[in-house]
Amino acid sequence: MTLRRPPLSLLAAIAFSLLLLLWLAFGDVNRFRADAPESQPRAEEALPRVEFQTSQAQRYQPSLVVQGQLMPWREVELRARASGQVASLAVEEGQDVEAGQTLLTLDQEDLPAQLERAEADLELARAELSASQRLRERDLVSRTELLRLSSGVAQASAEVARLRQSLAHTQPKAPFSGRLDRLDVEVGDYVQLGESWALLIEDDRLKADASVSQRDVHALSPGQTVTLTLLDGTPLSGEVSYVSSRADPSTRTFAIEARLDNPERRRLGGVSATLDIALEPRQAHSVSPAILVLDEEGQLGVKRLDDEDRVAFQRIDLLAATSRRAWVSGLPDTTRLITVGGGFVEVGDRVEAVAAPEQGPGDTLGLEASTLSGSGLAAPGPDEER
């Protein structure tokens, strides 16, 4: 009897079954090891890259810009000190006058005659008093009579002085040199006591009136230099002459005055002007407005690098800003400011710091943008024209 060999497919099936049984019996050796496999070294993550520029503090001349109005240095309403009819005018409206110059004459009526009689009465009273004093030496006149005569002399002298003053009031004079800016009477008009009849101004000097906020008034003091700019662009130079010590109750602002010379006596009284007041110089940094950011508390500042190339936030005071430059204080004299990439890193992050390319003297530090949204400050730096 001949034995038949099993087919190859059966042998393959048996072999596969044996292998499967062995895998189920022993399992994955690595999976059931008591010790974890050694970790494979991971590639080190790259640090975020930022550009910085080293900023050095500079001497900065801050200024305060306010709107004001030019006025004559002095102006006064001339009022009648006596009633009467205008007899003559010594000057015309708009004419320049000198201190003490007669401006007009009122009808004096009988005042000269009254003065002449009062002077005669005074002379008589003095003569009687002199005679009584000689008699008193010989005890021929009582002391009471002598006192009565002395009183009579005093009364007569007072009457003479009053009439002379009344005559002087009929010829009013200029209290100071200036220009008769307004004349409200003509020859023949009748003026009452206390009535305004002219306006005299002193315009060889001017004063500029303005108001400043509570925040800015502490930086002002008399003697500070002021540059005034008229609406047509004409510049004038002056200095602060007065700073109020009390705020206006309605506006909570402080009044200031600036004095300036007007030797040409230009007609500038009442015109508007911009006052640029030079404040105390200080150390500050010139930066791009684009690098200014706000922290979580809404405080303005910049992102800078510390000695370990970590990002730090530094609060600053904004002194002035234009579309290309901002002047800030509150930073160290020398500091590294992040100019590119600051928006992609957080405070405390370590970064790869790359120095920004060198810029020309006219460039602004870190120009990433050309505007500072919402800034109402505007002041040039020491290298810009004021």
What CATH number has the domain bearing residue 341? 2.40.420.20
Q: Is residue 327 part of a domain?
A: yes
Token pair for residue 346? Answer: 């957080």
Q: Is the same domain home to 255 and 269?
A: yes
Alpha helices for 321-382 (secondary structure H): none
Q: Is residue 91 part of a domain?
A: no
Q: How much of the chain is helix, strand and coil, in % rounded to 5?
A: 25, 35, 40
Domain stop point among 121, 148, 169: 169
Query: What per-residue confidence (pLDDT) applies to 323?
Result: 84
Q: Which residue has the tokens 């006058």?
A: 97
Q: Is the same domain home to 153 and 209?
A: no
Q: How far apart are CA 121 and CA 116, in angstroms?
A: 9
3-state secondary structure of 224: coil
User: Total domain count for the chain?
Assistant: 3
Instruction: Judge whether 48 and 348 are in contact, CB under 8 Å.
Output: no
Instruction: Judge whether 183 and 86 are in contact, CB under 8 Å.
Output: no
- Domain span at residue 259 reads 65-72+202-278
Q: Is residue 313 part of a domain?
A: yes
3-state secondary structure of 4: coil
Token pair for residue 62? Answer: 């801050």
Query: What per-residue confidence (pLDDT) applies to 386?
Result: 38
Walking along the chain (386 residues) 10 residues at a time, the average pLDDT comes out as 58 72 60 56 72 92 92 95 94 94 94 94 92 83 87 94 94 95 95 95 94 93 94 93 94 95 90 94 91 90 92 90 88 92 88 80 42 36 42
CATH number at residue 117: 1.10.287
Q: How far apart are CA 185 and CA 171, in angstroms?
A: 14
| DSSP at 260 | E
Q: Is residue 320 part of a domain?
A: yes
Instruction: Judge whether 190 and 108 are in contact, CB under 8 Å.
Output: no
Query: What per-residue confidence (pLDDT) applies to 39?
Result: 60
Q: Is residue 349 part of a domain?
A: yes
Q: Is the dihedral of CA 79, 81, 86, 90 positive or negative?
A: negative
Q: Is the same domain home to 298 and 268?
A: no
| Closest to 371 measured CA to CA, from 321, 332, 305 | 321
Segment holding 155, helix H or strand E: helix 143-169
Token pair for residue 370? Answer: 């050309």
Who's near 139: CB < 8 A, 6+ residues apart? none
CATH number at residue 249: 2.40.30.170
Instruction: Judge whether 170 and 82 are in contact, CB under 8 Å.
Output: yes
Query: What is the pairing mode between strands 49-56 and 352-355?
Result: parallel
Q: How far apart are CA 21 and CA 129, in angstroms?
A: 160
Who's near 169: CB < 8 A, 6+ residues apart? 80, 81, 82, 106
Q: Is the same domain home to 265 and 289?
A: no
Who's near 116: CB < 8 A, 6+ residues apart? none
Q: How far apart are CA 341 and CA 349, in angstroms?
A: 12
Q: Is the same domain home to 267 and 289?
A: no
Q: Which residues pair with 351 in a beta bridge?
A: none
Token pair for residue 298? Answer: 């809404």
Alpha helices for 211-278 (secondary structure H): 214-217
Query: What is the pairing mode between strands 293-294 and 300-305?
Result: antiparallel
Who's near 19: CB < 8 A, 6+ residues apart? none
Q: Is residue 309 part of a domain?
A: yes
Q: Is the same domain home to 274 and 304?
A: no
Query: What per-residue confidence (pLDDT) applies to 102?
Result: 96
Domain stop point among 238, 258, 278: 278
Segment holding 18, helix H or strand E: helix 8-26
| Closest to 169 measured CA to CA, from 234, 253, 104, 246 | 104
Q: Is the dihedral of CA 169, 171, 174, 180 positive or negative?
A: positive
